[in-house]
Chains A and B, each alone.
Chain A
Amino acid sequence: MAQKRLGKQTIKLSNPPSMLAAAAVVGPKEGEGPLSAYFDMIQKDDYFGQDSWEKAESKFVEEAVKRAISKSGVSITAIDYMLAGDLLNQIISSSFAARNLEIPYLGVYGACSTMAESLSIGSMIIDGGYADHIICATSSHFSSAERQYRFPLEQGVQRPPYAQWTVTGSGATMLSATGNGPYITHVTTGKVVDFGIKDANNMGAAMAPAAVDTITAHFKETGRSPGYYDLIVTGDLATVGKEIALELLKKEGLDLQNNYNDCGCMIFDNIKQDTHSGGSGCGCSASVLNGYLFNQLKHCELNRILFVATGALLSPISAWQGESIPCIAHAVAIETKPSEVK
């Protein structure tokens, strides 16, 4: 087996890349949520001064990337790769943002798992010695996602109580070969898991098995136990999916009751903000990671976290054709001290 592989899905980075800087830029609704103090910028206008939702989303990406770059102090010309993706068809938000940045660009797609996917690939590139600085980013926008996946905004429809609210926002992380952490130490790449859910409103239930599959593989292959981490955080399972994930994890013999949370449950106050089950979208895990969690890691309030972003790999067409929803979850272990060599 390749030297750095611990198992079928997990690798250990022997030169763990450091998260040099992170930035989260969010829309007005997110800015009214419980994590508002941790975002770099709260854009009051969800059009971001643009004339379409798609352009607005692209602007969110651009702003987050620029802020992460300027916080890192790295010159834009010294960045080797930009890894980014989003939910819109042909990942236009990311590619259009990259158009203005002139950084070698690799588009990635993992639906709402894209933040963890870009961090995984970025870490491997740095660990492999192919780059010094990589910017990883992703975004989502409530209005652009609604019009692509669901109904026109002005249409009078009722959302079921288990529906989720797509986060308007973007998060960007600057990975570096050198730095003082937090470090990305392990990467567990998810498999596509499908338990047969067809209701595109029921994302939490669809994605929970994928999250559980990846978390189980991570613990099995690293030999770590759930207690090792201060926090295990999934991307956007929201209230409904979180509860299902906990039950499934218990069936797998993992008790995460005390140190598990979900970004979709953290970003909104569901009752006050009328977001039903909670937040979703690439921007959900991205803004919580690059806003709140990065801050906690920097101040050593959290020292070891397992970030498990979850994605539903459906398309509007597959949903119309009555297909079930394949899902994926990617995990990255982020630690303030690089773990000791075994």
Chain B
Amino acid sequence: MKTKMSPNEYEKFIKDKVPKPKLFTNCLKAFVVGGLICDIGQFINNSLEGMKLNPEQVAAGTAIILVFLGAFFTGLGIYDKLGKFAGAGSIVPITGFSNSIVSPAMEFKREGYVFGVGARMFTIAGPVLVYGISTSVVIGIIHLLFFK
């Protein structure tokens, strides 16, 4: 082949030939679905408040129920379809976090409970946990040093 292109030149060459994701409609779908999931969360939150639980119990209860719902609909094979439609709208809420743990657990069950479920369960959520917890520790130290 006579044509020689650097990676940058090739990138430019294919730019208008590779279809781009529909940014506006994808954002709109993410906004609507993400918003609805948050509405459900708010509804659960309000219901728990109505049961005279204290704020800490309400927050924990809401998270637990939402995580359960995320896992439940992943198990039913519905959450992946929702994710395909909504993108970040169903990934960002806590239900998406639940989906990212349950889906590899289901997928790798065939490799057994140790090397499959146990080892692979956090392949996607693991980095979120590692950096989430690390960040909270750093913020905690800053809080302790400067604001106590």
Q: Which of A154, A197, A240, A247 contacts B80 (CB 8 A)?
A: A154
Select from chain B the residue with minimum beta-carbon distance to A214: B1
- A154 and B103 contact, CB distance less than 8 A: yes
Asked whether A156 and B96 contact (CB < 8 A) given A161-B21, A240-B17, the answer is yes
- A197 and B10 contact, CB distance less than 8 A: yes
Query: Would you call A159 an interface residue if the criterion is a C-beta within 8 Å of the partner chain's C-beta atoms?
Result: yes
Asked whether A209 and B1 contact (CB < 8 A) given A158-B83, A195-B7, A197-B10, the answer is yes
- A162 and B80 contact, CB distance less than 8 A: no
- A195 and B10 contact, CB distance less than 8 A: yes
Complexed CA–CA distance, A202 and B14 (Å): 11
Residues of A within 8 A of B2 (CB): 216, 251-252
Chain A to chain B contacts (Cβ below 8 Å), 22 pairs: A152-B103, A152-B124, A154-B74, A154-B75, A154-B80, A154-B106, A156-B82, A156-B83, A156-B90, A157-B83, A158-B87, A160-B21, A161-B19, A162-B18, A195-B7, A196-B6, A209-B3, A213-B1, A216-B1, A240-B19, A244-B17, A251-B3
Q: Which of B10, B21, B107, B110 contacts A154 (CB 8 A)?
A: B107
Q: How far is the CB of A8 from chain B (nearest CB, A)?
A: 12
Residues of A within 8 A of B124 (CB): 151-152, 155
Listed residue (A155, A195, A248) with the most chain B CB atoms within 10 angstroms of its CB: A155
Complexed CA–CA distance, A53 and B8 (Å): 38
Q: How far is the CB of A112 from chain B (nearest CB, A)?
A: 19
Listed residue (B17, B75, B107) with the most chain A CB atoms within 10 angstroms of its CB: B17
Q: How far is the CB of A208 from chain B (nearest CB, A)?
A: 8
Q: How far is the CB of B64 from chain A (nearest CB, A)?
A: 20
Query: Would you call A45 an interface residue if the criterion is a C-beta within 8 Å of the partner chain's C-beta atoms?
Result: no
Query: Would you call A178 an interface residue if the criterion is a C-beta within 8 Å of the partner chain's C-beta atoms?
Result: no
Interface flags, B66-84, vs A, CB<8A=1, else 0 = 0000000011010111111
- B1 and A212 contact, CB distance less than 8 A: yes
Complexed CA–CA distance, A247 and B5 (Å): 14
- A244 and B14 contact, CB distance less than 8 A: yes
- B100 and A155 contact, CB distance less than 8 A: yes
Q: Which of B18, B84, B86 contacts A240 (CB 8 A)?
A: B18
Complexed CA–CA distance, A160 and B22 (Å): 9
Asked whether A155 and B80 contact (CB < 8 A) given A147-B107, A196-B7, the answer is yes
- A153 and B1 contact, CB distance less than 8 A: no
The DSSP consensus for interface residues of chain B is helix
Interface flags, B89-110, vs A, CB<8A=1, else 0 = 0110000100110111011101
Residues of B within 8 A of A155 (CB): 80, 83, 99-100, 103-104, 124
Q: A157-B83, A196-B10, A202-B18 are in contact. List 13 more A-B contacts (CB 8 A).
A: A152-B107, A153-B80, A154-B75, A155-B104, A156-B84, A158-B21, A161-B19, A161-B21, A212-B1, A216-B2, A243-B17, A248-B3, A251-B3
The DSSP consensus for interface residues of chain A is loop
Query: Would you call B148 an interface residue if the criterion is a C-beta within 8 Å of the partner chain's C-beta atoms?
Result: no
Select from chain B the residue with minimum beta-carbon distance to A52: B110
Residues of A within 8 A of B90 (CB): 156
Query: Would you call A340 an interface residue if the criterion is a C-beta within 8 Å of the partner chain's C-beta atoms?
Result: no
Query: Would you call B143 an interface residue if the criterion is a C-beta within 8 Å of the partner chain's C-beta atoms?
Result: no
Binding site for B on A (CB under 8 A): 51-53, 147, 151-162, 193, 195-197, 202, 205, 209, 212-213, 216-217, 240, 243-244, 247-248, 251-252, 277, 324
Q: Which of A151, A205, A252 contacts B18 (CB 8 A)?
A: A205
Residues of A within 8 A of B87 (CB): 158
Complexed CA–CA distance, A154 and B107 (Å): 8
Query: Would you call B11 an interface residue if the criterion is a C-beta within 8 Å of the partner chain's C-beta atoms?
Result: yes
Select from chain A the residue with minimum beta-carbon distance to B107: A152
Q: Which of A158, A217, A251 contacts B84 (CB 8 A)?
A: A158
- A247 and B17 contact, CB distance less than 8 A: yes
Complexed CA–CA distance, A159 and B19 (Å): 12
Complexed CA–CA distance, A162 and B17 (Å): 10
Q: How far is the CB of A313 from chain B (nearest CB, A)?
A: 17
Residues of A within 8 A of B91 (CB): 156-157
Residues of A within 8 A of B106 (CB): 152, 154
Residues of B within 8 A of A240 (CB): 17-19
- Sort A-B residue pairs by CB-CB distance and give the 3 closest, nearest first: A156-B83, A196-B7, A152-B107
Q: Which of B5, B22, B80, B110 contacts A51 (CB 8 A)?
A: B110
Q: How far is the CB of B138 from chain A (nearest CB, A)?
A: 26
Complexed CA–CA distance, A293 and B84 (Å): 34
